[in-house]
A and B are shown apart, each in its own frame.
Chain A
Amino acid sequence: MSRYTSVTDAERGQMLDEIGVSSLEELFADVPEALRLARPLHLDSGRSEQEVFEELRALAERNVSTEDEISFLGAGMYDHYVPALVEAITQRSEFLTPYTPYQPEISQGTLQAMFEYQTAICELTGLPVSNASVYDGPSAVAAAGYVARLENGRRRFVVSRGVHPHSREALVTLAGGWGMEVVEAPLDGGVTAPPQLDAEVSAVIVQQPNFFGVVEDLEPLAQAAHEAGALLICACDPLPLALLRTPGESGADLVVGEGQSLGNPPCFGGPSFGFFAATEALIRRLPGRIAGQTRDLDGRRGYVLTLQTREQHIRRERATSNICTAQALNALAGLIYLCWLGRQGIVELATLMLQRTAYARRRLAAIDGVRLLHERPVVREFALALEAPVAGVIAACRERGINPGHPLGEDYPEHPDGLLVAITERRTRADIDRLAEALGAAVAAARRQPAGVAG
């Protein structure tokens, strides 16, 4: 008997009697004989809890996590401190183990949390409508594209080269199914050049700050999109929005993004959540769950899943999306984190990142053989160009316990020795000084060696 089932041998016989069959086999009578697996699955036999714990702990120990090195990796997911109360609350059975709140009378906790989450996302993005979460940032970009297509039926997306490569690729993957074309808008000096648009363009898609960490001026992009009758979709890093003019204010129609930095650990890429906000005009085209406020029979305030006629379980082939299970628990972590930061705290945190990032930029740009790829304003991330092979420099820094950042060359061949450096509140001045020292030494060493040897 496995430890998660309770049927004893004696009970099994009694239960079969109650059913009126003589064996378990009979219950599977509909499975054709030829299809029944005549052997056990080729899997190892089961293990005790303790043994499974040891095995998966050993696997964990073979990873170099952000606890094991000073990491400047970012590029879409960031090494933020997650306060203790996030785990304490999200691990409560009442939030952890129910499913989607289809029965609102016994799901007010989840539904009210969704409503509060939506309110917080609206505040951050400057838009009046939010859903209760989608899978992640890149899939949210693709989902926003689908909303634009439903809205105006046009056949082309114009996507800035400053949008995360994973978002661009997810969009291309899905847009193929809708028969849509994706064209790229180039960057000029690190920001999106105002694109030439025609009446075929469904949406212009940009990222704020963009993949290189540079702050975009969204308003001219929104104007250009709207003049052509297209929507502006903006993918955002949520914490910098504490300081930046909101994309909603700048004219974005759909604001989406990766929510990981709000109270979720990076966890090798997930689970986290994608947020999804929109203008009022688009509310009936949104994907996924939306919590709405209402009253019960006795006039008490309560919450329900609303506008469900958009969704797959009601509308089926005419649904605005196929999404069902999303990332509710991760979005709850995001809400708790935003409450923990609060109105002043989120500004203080973003300002701390802004100042330390500025410091890191000055320190690193002062190194011989290192220059800034762009000079424009950034908040928490910036790109460097190294005058040395980046792979070797990264390897040398790691020897000193520092992961200096993400190499750009694979996604951006125009920057073969580019390095993207991310700063969070966990990276202190001392960490940045150590990075400067390690990077300086590595670049200097590489430049002393003949080309091709380093790394």
Chain B
Amino acid sequence: MSWFTAAADDELTIFERSRPGRRAFVAPELDVPELPLDELLPAPLRRIAPPRLPEVAEPEIVRHFNRLSKRNFDLDTGFYPLGSCTMKHNPRLHERLAALPGHARLHPLQDPARAQGALELMWRLQQALGEIAGLPHVSLQPAAGSHGELAGVLLTRAYHEDRGERRTKVLTPDSAHGTNPATVTMAGYEVVKVGTDERGNVDLEDLRAKADADVACLMLTNPSTLGLFEPAIEEIARIVHGVGATLYYDGANLNAIMGICRPGDMGFDIVHFNLHKSFTQPHGGGGPGAGPIAVSERIEPFLPRPQVVRREAGEGNGARRPYYDLDHARPKSIGRLRGFQGNYGVFVRAYAYIRSLGAEGLREVSEVAVLNANYLLARLRREGVLEYLQPAYERLCMHEFVLSGTAMRRELGLKTLDLAKRLLDHGVHPPTVYFPLIVDEALLIEPTETETRETLDRFAATVAEVLREAREDPEIARAAPYTTPVRRLDEAGAARRPVVRQPL
């Protein structure tokens, strides 16, 4: 691959490009009588010097950011099998729709009567997500998956407290995303880890031993972060419900099961969605996303405020047709988690996606996601890759799978990190590395449904090529990458003496 490296030296920051007196902004005319500044804002309240923002004209701003952009690898350029992140294609239609003034320039405090299009869109999205989850009540408010998790655990707390119970512990599998235990702590509970059995499933004996009357909730990802569906999910639900706890579904891996099975039918009480994973909101370099939640009847009274509702004709206000409204009058609600109504622009994209694909298309998404993952695993096997990178569990996977680099490290002296860095030189984004934590030298691979068979074939061949090269000379991978805008960076040094802003 060829990276854009017109200048071999460091890329200047926009602050270093600044020269006194340059500007991109021309202010609109001051069309009112000007009053003395001291009269409007007395000196003690004012800042002494203006903020030292860059002084640059428009051409330099555009060139600066375009140059920066070329120092990124992105999904529109190449394969991005980053496990657990569902890096699927982001349809361009969605960007056009979200930018329409009626969506983008709608003020969040507009009277609901004058935001009927937005509220109807949100209501319809709630209905669709509820159907996909198999749980009837949806709040769109949480801003991301981890925010949805926090909402879910706070809902659990509200549910138990409403029944006069004070529980103290939340169970999470040892394979869970880091956000699960972090959320539990933020919601004021103690984390209790549940083990994984030799097949990669939740260890039912361990679960039974730890599920007691102090347990508020089990947070579960299904398919798990190991890319495996829990065959005993019904038994898990029985155990958890048997001690009066709630069952929480981390929706990170929903892309594997849409239209095939539903968390609500499995016994989950609360589900969060990642609209930036399964529903194509572009990842943006780390957001924005959205983390709506769907819940069962017994959790519904506690959902965040306000809730988007459809009111039928004649219900309040004497309306002649159904209309959509924000319901603030929810006495048992856990309250707000953020400002306004949520990441509406993300809802526009997710809703457009659901409308484009329909029931049949969503099912096909999950089928092909699972087909592609298993096919890639089979191709890696045929290439001989699995001698060095062994499947953590020898079984069919769902939409992603985990390999362990233990043998590669032992036989070739190559760490998973080295393999990842060498893949950069081949123009692919590496899979997720060192997660899940319970697999040594883990490599979590999620191809998604939007990749072609040729891309999967090429990836398998590339990994095989890196291993072949390492058999001859492991040093090459150990010092990789070579063709990227920068080479391996000193992360330890960065953390020891943090430089988090430009000295001006």
As a 0/1 sequence over residues 308 to 351 of chain A, the CB contacts with chain B under 8 angstroms (1 = contact) are 11011111111101111111111010011011111111111101
Is B104 touching A267 in the complex (CB atoms < 8 A)?
A: yes
Which residue in chain B gives the minimum CB-CB distance to A88? Answer: B62
Q: A178 and B188: CB pair below 8 A?
A: yes
A379 to B47 alpha-carbon distance, docked (Å)? 13
Choose from A3, A37, A57, A347 the contact partner of B100 (Cβ within 8 Å). A57
Task: Tell whether A453 is near chain B: CB-to-CB under 8 Å.
Answer: no
Question: Which residues between 70 and 101 of chain A lie within 8 Å of chain B, taking CB atoms?
Answer: 71, 73, 75-77, 79, 83, 85, 87-89, 91-101
* Stretch of B115-123, B239-247, B462-470 contacting A (4+ beta carbons < 8 Å): B115-123
Give the distance to chain A from B448, nearest Cβ to Cβ, in Å: 9
Contacts of B131 in A (CB 8 A): 41-43
* Contact between chains at B188 and A179 (CB < 8 Å): yes
Question: A107 is contacted by which of B72, B107, B398 (Cβ under 8 Å)?
Answer: B72
Q: Which of A40, A128, A135, A398 sits near B360, CB closer than 8 Å?
A: A40
Over the window 258-295 of chain B, the binary record of Cβ atoms lying under 8 Å from chain A Cβ atoms (1 yes, 0 no) is 11111001100000001010000011111111100000
Q: Please judge, given known A-B contacts A18-B379, A355-B35, whether A304 and B178 are in contact too, CB under 8 Å.
A: no
- Most chain-A Cβ atoms within 10 A of its Cβ — which of B68, B185, B284? B284
B residues within 8 A CB of A18? 375, 378-379, 382
Q: Output the nearest chain B residue to A319 by Cβ-Cβ distance.
A: B182
Instruction: Give a binary string over A257-274; 1 marks a CB under 8 Å from any B CB, 0 the rest.
Output: 010000001111111010
Bound CA span A339–B56, Å = 7
Do B491 and A304 touch across chains, with their CB atoms under 8 A apart?
A: yes
Min distance, Cβ A257 to any Cβ of chain B, angstroms: 11
Q: Are B285 and A329 in contact, CB atoms less than 8 angstroms apart?
A: yes
Given the known A-B contacts A317-B184, A339-B61, are A297 and B487 also in contact in the complex, defined by CB atoms under 8 Å? yes
Of A119-127, A224-232, A364-372, A442-450, the one contacting chain B is A119-127
Is A116's CB under 8 angstroms from B14's CB? yes
- B68 and A5 contact, CB distance less than 8 A: no
Known: A43-B362, A245-B47. A170 touches B339 (CB 8 A): yes
Task: Pick from B33, B100, B364, B372: contact of A2, CB below 8 A.
Answer: B364
Q: Which chain B residue has the least Cβ–Cβ distance from A44? A: B358
Scan B398-430; emit 1 where CB is below 8 A from any A CB, else 0.
Answer: 100000000000000000000011001000011
For residue B88, CB closer than 8 A to chain A, the reply is: yes
B396 contacts A21, C-beta separation under 8 Å:
yes
Question: How far does the alpha carbon of A340 sit from the alpha carbon of B276 in the complex, in Å?
Answer: 29
Scan B9-47; emit 1 where CB is below 8 A from any A CB, else 0. Answer: 111011100100011110110111111010011101111
Chain B residues lying within 8 Å of A283, measured Cβ to Cβ, are 498, 500
- Pick the residue among A41, A309, A349, A398 that contacts B132 (CB under 8 A): A41
Contact pattern, A 1-26, Cβ under 8 Å of B = 1, otherwise 0: 11111110001100110111100101
- Contact flag A40-B259 (CB < 8 Å), given A133-B287, A172-B335: yes
Whether B50 contacts A242 by the Cβ 8 Å rule is yes
**Docked-complex contact A31 and B260, CB < 8 angstroms:** yes
Task: Specify the chain A residue showing the minimal Cβ separation from B428.
Answer: A106
Q: Which residues of A contact B441 (CB under 8 A)?
A: none
Q: Given A36-B260, A268-B340, is A136 in contact with B143 using a C-beta cutoff of 8 Å? A: yes
With A41-B363, A46-B356, A246-B47 already in contact, the answer to whether A85 and B182 are too (CB < 8 A) is no
B356 touches A109 (CB 8 A): no
Whether B110 pairs with A302 at a CB distance below 8 angstroms is no
Is A289 part of the contact surface with B, judged by Cβ < 8 Å?
yes
Q: Could you tell me the distance between the alpha carbons of A106 and B116 in the complex, rounded to whole angstroms?
A: 43
Whether B154 and A52, one on each chain, are in contact in the complex, defined by CB atoms closer than 8 angstroms, is no
User: Smallest Cβ distance from A19 to chain B, in angstroms?
Assistant: 5
B504 touches A119 (CB 8 A): yes
Given A93-B76, A306-B500, A377-B45 in contact, is the A63-B108 Cβ separation under 8 Å? no
Q: How far is the CA of A297 from the CA of B99 in the complex (A)?
A: 42
Most B C-beta atoms less than 10 A away, residue of A87, A105, A122, A304: A105
A151-159, A161-169, A198-206: which lies at the B interface? A161-169
Within 8 A of B (CB), among A44-59: 44-47, 49, 52-53, 55-59
A188 contacts partner chain B, Cβ-Cβ < 8 Å? no
How many residues on B have C-beta within 8 angstroms of the other chain's C-beta atoms? 209
B319 contacts partner chain A, Cβ-Cβ < 8 Å: no
- Cβ of B144 under 8 Å from chain A: yes
CB-CB contacts of A127-144 with B at 8 A, as 1s and 0s? 011101101111100000
Give the Cβ gap from B277 to chain A, nearest Cβ, in Å.
9
| A345 and B27 contacting across the interface, CB-CB below 8 Å | yes
Q: Is the CB of A79 within 8 A of B501?
A: no
Which chain B residues numbered 95 to 117 have a C-beta less than 8 Å away from chain A? 95-111, 114-117
Q: Which residue of B lies closest to A173 (CB)?
A: B335
CB-defined interface of B358-397 with A at 8 Å, one 1/0 digit per residue? 1111111101101110110111001000000000000110
Q: A61 contacts the other chain (Cβ, under 8 Å)?
A: yes
Instruction: Say if the beta carbon of A399 comes within 8 Å of chain B.
Output: no
Which residues of B446-470 have CB atoms within 8 Å of chain A's CB atoms? 449-453
Q: Does A400 contact B (CB under 8 A)?
A: no
Pair A268/B11 contact, Cβ less than 8 Å? no
Contact A352 B30 (CB under 8 A): yes
Contacts A53-B93, A268-B115: A97 and B282 contacting too (C-beta < 8 A)?
yes
Are the C-beta atoms of B259 and A41 separated by less than 8 Å? yes
Among B25, B54, B71, B104, point to the contact of A108 (Cβ < 8 A). B71
Let me know if A110 is at the binding interface, CB within 8 A. Answer: yes
Give which listed residue, A12, A64, A101, A306, contacts B498 with CB less than 8 A.
Answer: A306
The minimal Cβ–Cβ distance linking B286 to chain A, given in whole angstroms, is 4
Cβ-based interface call for B229 (8 A): yes
Task: Please give me the residue from chain B that is nearest to A179 by CB atom.
Answer: B188
Other-chain residue from A26, A110, A319, A377 in contact with B40 (beta carbon distance below 8 A):
A377
B122 (CB) vs chain A CBs: closest residue: A268
Residue of B nearest to A208 (CB): B45
A450, B434: Cα distance in complex, Å:
72
Choose among B51, B99, B344 the residue that contacts A87 (Cβ–Cβ < 8 A).
Answer: B99
A105 and B484 form a contact (CB under 8 A): yes
Given A112-B11, A321-B186; A19-B51 close (CB under 8 Å): no
Closest to A395 in B: B111
Please, which residue of chain A has its CB at the minimum distance from the CB of B421? A105
B76: chain A residues at CB < 8 Å are 93-94, 96-97
The reply on A375 being an interface residue by CB < 8 A is: no
Answer yes or no: B297 CB below 8 A from chain A CBs. Answer: no
Contact check, A27 vs B339: say whether CB atoms are below 8 A apart.
no
Report if A296 contacts B (CB, 8 A): yes
Interface check A34, CB cutoff 8 A: yes
Residues of A with C-beta under 8 A to B231: 30-32
Is A292 an interface residue when CB atoms closer than 8 A count as contact? Answer: yes
Are A270 and B344 interface neighbours, CB within 8 A? yes
CB-contact partner of A319 in B178, B346, B352, under 8 A: B178
A296 neighbours in B (Cβ, 8 Å): 486-490
CB distance from A172 to the nearest CB of B (A): 6
Q: How far is the CB of A396 from chain B (nearest CB, A)?
A: 13
CA distance in complex: A425, B157 (Å): 45
7 contacts between A and B (CB under 8 A): A92-B69, A258-B339, A266-B105, A267-B104, A293-B500, A307-B495, A355-B35
Further pairs besides A66-B105, A108-B486, A269-B339: 7, Cβ < 8 Å: A18-B375, A41-B359, A44-B359, A109-B71, A176-B188, A177-B154, A268-B344
Sort A-B residue pairs by CB-CB distance and give the 10 closest, nearest first: A60-B102, A269-B340, A329-B284, A62-B117, A345-B25, A271-B288, A46-B358, A269-B108, A93-B76, A328-B286
